[in-house]
Amino acid sequence: MKFTKFGNKLFSFFLLISILPLSIAGVIVYKYVYDRTKDEVLNQLRTAVYNHNDKLHLLLTKRRFRVVDFSSDGFIRDCVERIYSFPSEYPQICEKLNTHLIINKKGLDPDILGIEVLDNKGEVIASTSPEQTGTDKSQEDYFRGPFLSQEQQGSYFADAIKREENTEELQLVFSVMLTDKILHRPLGVLVTKVKGGILQDIIGVAKRGSGGHGGEEYIVNGNKLMIASSNADNKSVALDRIIDTEHVCDVLASKGEVLGVYENYRGVRVLGSAMYVPETNWVILSEKNIKDAFLPLARIKYIFIISGGGAIFLVFIFAFVISGNINAIVNKLIRGTRRIADGDLEHPITIGKRNDEIKELCESFNLMMNKLRESDDKSNHLFLQVKRGRDEWQKTFDAITDIITIHDKDFRIIMANKAFFEKFNFDKKQLSETRCHEIFHGAENPWYSCPLERTITSLQPECEEVDDPHMGGIFFVSTYPLLDENKEIYGVVHMAKDITSQKNVERQLIKKANELVIANRELEDFVYIVSHDLKEPLFAIEGYASKISMDNRDAIGDKGRYRIERIRSNTTKMSQKIHEILEVLKVGRVSYNFRNNNIGDIVKDVLNSLENRIKTGNIHISIQEDLPTVLCDRERLMDVFSNLITNAIKFMNGEPKRIRIGCDKDDCYYKFFVEDTGIGIREEYCEQIFKIFRRLNDIEVEGTGVGLAIVKKIIELHNGKVWVESSVNGGKGSKFYFTIPMKGEHFEGVKDSTC
Ligand code: ADP
Q: For residue 192, how far is its CA from the centre of ligand 1 (angstroms)?
A: 174
- The residue whose C-alpha atom lies closest to atom 3 belonging to ligand 1 is 703
What number does the ligand 1 atom closest to the CA of 696 have? 16
692 touches ligand 1 (CB under 6 Å): no
* Substitution candidate for ligand 1 out of 644, 647, 690, 696 with most atoms within 8 A of CB: 647
Q: For residue 690, how far is its CA from the centre of ligand 1 (angstroms)?
A: 9
704 touches ligand 1 (CB under 6 Å): yes
Residue 705, pLDDT score: 87
- Three-state SS for 419? helix
User: Helix, strand, coil proportions of the chain in percent (round to 5)?
Assistant: 50, 20, 25
What number does the ligand 1 atom closest to the CA of 652 have? 24
Mean pLDDT of 607-635: 93
What number does the ligand 1 atom closest to the CA of 705 have? 8
696 touches ligand 1 (CB under 6 Å): yes
- Residue pair 282/227 in contact (Cβ under 8 Å)? The answer is yes
Q: For residue 708, how far is its CA from the centre of ligand 1 (angstroms)?
A: 7
3-state secondary structure 604-640: HHHHHHCHHHHHHHCCEEEECCCCCEEEEEHHHHHHH
* Substitution candidate for ligand 1 out of 673, 689, 722 with most atoms within 8 A of CB: 689
Q: For residue 527, how far is its CA from the centre of ligand 1 (angstroms)?
A: 24
**Tens-place pLDDT, residues 547-568:** 888 888 778 888 888 888 888 8
- Reply yes or no on whether the pLDDT at 412 is more than 60: yes
Mean pLDDT of 616-626: 93
Between CA 494 and CA 476 the distance in angstroms is 11
Residue 355 banded pLDDT, cuts 50, 70, 90: confident
Between CA 233 and CA 246 the distance in angstroms is 26
Between CA 79 and CA 60 the distance in angstroms is 28
- Reply yes or no on whether the pLDDT at 212 is more than 60: no
Residue 239 banded pLDDT, cuts 50, 70, 90: low
Q: For residue 615, how far is its CA from the centre of ligand 1 (angstroms)?
A: 21
651 touches ligand 1 (CB under 6 Å): yes
689 touches ligand 1 (CB under 6 Å): yes
* Lowest model confidence (mean pLDDT) among 99-103, 327-331, 632-636, 669-673: 327-331
- Residue pair 640/673 in contact (Cβ under 8 Å)? The answer is no
For residue 518, give Cα distances in angstroms to 513, 522, 612. 8, 6, 43
- The residue whose C-alpha atom lies closest to atom 8 belonging to ligand 1 is 705
Mean pLDDT of 81-104: 89
Q: What is the mean pLDDT of the chain?
A: 84
Q: For residue 696, how far is its CA from the centre of ligand 1 (angstroms)?
A: 7
Q: Say whether the peptide bond before residue 461 is cis (omega within 30 degrees of 0).
A: no
Q: For residue 586, how far is its CA from the centre of ligand 1 (angstroms)?
A: 20
Which position has the higher pLDDT, 375 or 16?
16
Residue 672, pLDDT score: 96
**Tens-place pLDDT, residues 446-469:** 888 899 999 999 999 999 999 888
* Substitution candidate for ligand 1 out of 693, 694, 695, 715 with most atoms within 8 A of CB: 695
Q: For residue 578, how far is its CA from the centre of ligand 1 (angstroms)?
A: 20
Q: For residue 650, how far is its CA from the centre of ligand 1 (angstroms)?
A: 8
Q: For residue 570, how far is its CA from the centre of ligand 1 (angstroms)?
A: 24
